[in-house]
Every structure is written in C-alpha cells, then in structure tokens.
C-alpha cells in the first residue's frame, strides 16, 4: 500500500509479474478511499468506535513489547506467531 509520495513519482509496476507471484495486489489510498474533507473525520471516528464496541477488531495477541524491546518483537514476528505482535510506546 502506498500512503504517500513525498519522494516523487512511483516506479512503473508490471502487473503481470504481480499476478504470477500469487496473492499480491496493488492499492493506493487517496481521497476517494473514504475521507474527503476534514469535517467527515468525526463521523468516521464515531463509526470506528461504534464497531469497536460491537465486535473484536484484532486477532489473538501473541506478544506485547515495549518500544525499547523492538528487536525482541521482530524476533517474535520471525517465529510465525499465531496472533498479533504489539509494540507499545511505553517502557516495560
């Protein structure tokens, strides 16, 4: 996913090569993706919070790591965990 283009134009993409690679896709977030004006942001946040109270948004948590333990978090990711690896912005 491309979230920004501060460094210039994107390189050309060979879509046939992506198709041959399997479950690979290209998407670009932009104004047409949902939020078009700042005044819509409040409604979008309210909708997300309403969903969060109705159903679980994340899968199982396989590990929680403080930001200063990010190397351990990467090692946990490399072990193919059965759940999310969270890196939290506070010290352990």
- How far apart are alpha carbons 62 and 56 in whole angstroms? 16
Could you give the angle at the alpha carbon of 22 between the alpha carbons of 16 and 23, nearest 5°? 110
What does pTM read for this prediction? 0.39
The string of pLDDT tens digits covering residues 6-20 is 667 777 888 888 878
Secondary structure class of 65 (helix, strand, coil): strand
Q: Can you give the pLDDT at residue 79? A: 93
| Residues written for the chain | 92
Cβ neighbours of residue 10 under 8 Å, at least 6 residues apart? 2
For residues 50 and 57, the model is more confident at 50
Q: Tens of pLDDT along 59-70?
A: 788 999 999 999
Q: What is the separation of C-alpha 58 from the centre of its chain, rounded to a whole number of angstroms?
A: 12
Rg of the chain over all Cα atoms, to the nearest angstrom: 18
């Amino acid at each position: 996913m491309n979230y920004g283009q501060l460094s210039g134009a994107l390189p050309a993409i060979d879509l046939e090569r992506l198709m041959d690679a399997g479950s690979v896709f290209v998407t670009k977030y932009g104004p047409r993706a949902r939020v078009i004006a700042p005044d819509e942001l409040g409604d979008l946040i309210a909708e997300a919070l309403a969903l969060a109270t109705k159903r679980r948004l994340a899968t199982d948590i396989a590990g929680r790591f403080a930001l200063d333990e990010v190397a351990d978090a990467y090692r946990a990711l490399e072990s193919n965990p059965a759940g999310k690896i969270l890196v939290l912005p506070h010290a352990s």
